[in-house]
């Protein structure tokens, strides 16, 4: 791992622990970029950096949640100290919150906006001095769903539409600064994202390696809009022109989350103001501990912290398996998703949750 390399182009990649972000980091490193790899899961970042270093690349892991207070400044400082510059900022962190738009809690609405719009803006603002020096590039990852929204993923689609507008706005405001701003439509990608989010597979989905190759090529071409899979982008654009046809196609490829299918719209529940990264202190052998005892070893194997589960237990809140899995693991694999489901079932048996659907629960009791 290089300590300082002022002449080496540097790429900051958020969401680097899996999916598109991980593959972009690998391909950019092979092109000679030093990598600041940002994500929440240190073990996956360590694996990524080890792989990059094996072929002679430079990678620094930065383990944090990009929505945390001060996260942007920490990321930029890591790039400045280790490599002295930022040439590319790739805002790749994200997850989809499942559920009908009007059934989303205030917490979920805020999380999607903060993750997809607020955090990238704060990081871009913090990186601006270094980007001006390098005449660098900022990339915002959007989605075809920004143009043709999918039902039951309304919060995600709305946030991605805002990302698209944000990229256009910044490109115009930074014109003449030497900084390129690129909006990336990755298309539909073969990854864990679609499976976890509930989007049905179809034959036209592109391999993540192909999408990442197009993105890394865009580091040199610096386009205003980068359609990684042009046919997918064209399909999304056609949705604007033929909305009724788009409605039919969207419903054929999207299944509602269990809670949404035929479920009544819940009445608003009073919620306490969320505090950033709350620490939940639990006494030894509390009811919470005892409820998780049957799955404790399983949780240890997948590194599912009890504190994460405790943070979910806000009485009156709804818990969706897909959303919780994304919040915990970013892009969870099948094993991680299954372990989380077992833990939530254990909490149900312990009286902390009540099941409202195949993959949904309502919190009836806090961890304390």
Query: Hey, what domains does the chain have and what are their CATH numbers?
Result: 10-253 (3.40.50.720), 287-363 (1.10.10)
pLDDT of residue 272: 42
Whether the full predicted model's pTM is greater than 0.85, yes or no, is: no
pLDDT per residue, tens digit, the chain (368 aa), is 444 455 689 999 999 998 899 999 999 999 999 999 999 889 999 999 999 999 999 999 999 999 988 999 999 999 999 999 999 999 999 888 777 888 888 888 898 999 999 999 999 999 999 999 999 999 999 887 777 777 777 788 899 999 999 999 999 999 999 999 999 998 775 555 555 555 544 445 678 898 999 999 999 999 999 987 766 656 666 656 666 666 666 666 665 555 543 333 343 444 444 434 333 333 345 788 888 888 888 898 888 988 889 889 988 888 888 888 877 876 677 888 888 998 998 898 888 998 888 888 899 888 87
Q: Write the DSSP symbol of residue 228.
A: S
Q: Has 156 been annotated as catalytic? A: yes
H-state helical runs in 174-278? 192-197, 208-221, 230-241, 243-253
The whole-angstrom separation of Cα 291 and Cα 314 is: 17
Q: How far apart are CA 155 and CA 149, in angstroms?
A: 10
Can you give the pLDDT at residue 48?
A: 96
So what's the pLDDT on residue 242?
A: 64
Catalytic residue among 33, 152, 153, 156: 156
Any bridge partners for residue 59, and if so which? Answer: 35
User: What pLDDT is recorded for position 239?
Assistant: 59
Measured CA to CA, the distance from residue 138 to residue 182 in angstroms comes to 6
Handedness of CA 137, 4, 54, 123 (dihedral sign): negative
Give the Cβ contact number of residue 27 at 10 Å: 17
pLDDT of residue 256: 59
The predicted pLDDT at position 282 comes to 36
What tokens appear for 279 in the block? 């620490």
Q: Is 133 helix (H, G, I), strand (E, B) or coil?
A: helix
Specify whether the CB–CB gap between 277 and 324 falls below 8 A. Answer: no
């Amino acid at each position: 791992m290089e300590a300082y390399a002022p002449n080496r182009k540097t790429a900051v990649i958020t969401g680097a622990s899996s999916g598109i972000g991980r593959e972009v980091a690998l391909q950019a490193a092979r092109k000679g970029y030093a990598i600041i790899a940002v994500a929440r899961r240190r073990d996956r970042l360590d694996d990524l950096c080890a792989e990059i270093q094996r072929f002679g690349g430079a990678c620094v892991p930065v383990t944090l949640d990009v929505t945390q207070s001060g996260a942007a400044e920490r990321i930029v400082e890591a790039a400045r100290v280790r490599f002295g510059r930022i040439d590319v900022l790739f805002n790749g962190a994200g997850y989809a919150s499942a559920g009908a738009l009007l059934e989303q809690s205030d917490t979920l609405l805020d999380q999607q906006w903060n993750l997809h719009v607020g955090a990238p803006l704060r990081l871009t603002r913090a990186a601006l001095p270094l980007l001006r020096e390098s005449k660098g590039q900022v990339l915002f990852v959007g989605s075809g769903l920004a143009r043709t929204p999918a039902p039951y993923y309304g919060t995600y689609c709305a946030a991605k539409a805002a990302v698209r507008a944000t990229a256009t706005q910044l490109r115009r405001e930074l014109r003449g600064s030497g900084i390129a701003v690129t909006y990336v439509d990755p298309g539909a990608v073969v990854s864990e994202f679609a499976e976890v989010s509930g989007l049905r597979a179809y034959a036209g989905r592109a391999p993540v390696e192909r999408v990442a190759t197009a993105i890394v090529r865009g580091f040199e071409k610096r386009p205003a809009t980068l359609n990684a899979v042009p046919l997918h982008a064209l399909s999304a654009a056609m949705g604007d022109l033929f909305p009724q046809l788009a409605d039919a196609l969207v419903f054929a490829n999207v299944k509602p989350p269990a809670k949404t299918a035929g479920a009544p719209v819940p009445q608003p529940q009073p919620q306490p103001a969320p505090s950033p990264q709350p620490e939940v202190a639990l006494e030894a052998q509390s009811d919470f501990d005892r409820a998780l005892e049957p799955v404790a070893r399983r949780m240890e194997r997948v590194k599912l912290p009890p504190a994460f589960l405790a943070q979910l237990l806000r009485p009156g809140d709804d818990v969706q398996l897909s959303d919780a899995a994304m919040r915990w693991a970013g892009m969870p694999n099948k094993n991680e998703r299954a372990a989380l489901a077992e833990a939530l079932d254990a909490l149900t048996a312990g009286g902390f949750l009540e099941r409202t659907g195949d993959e949904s629960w309502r919190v009836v009791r806090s961890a304390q």
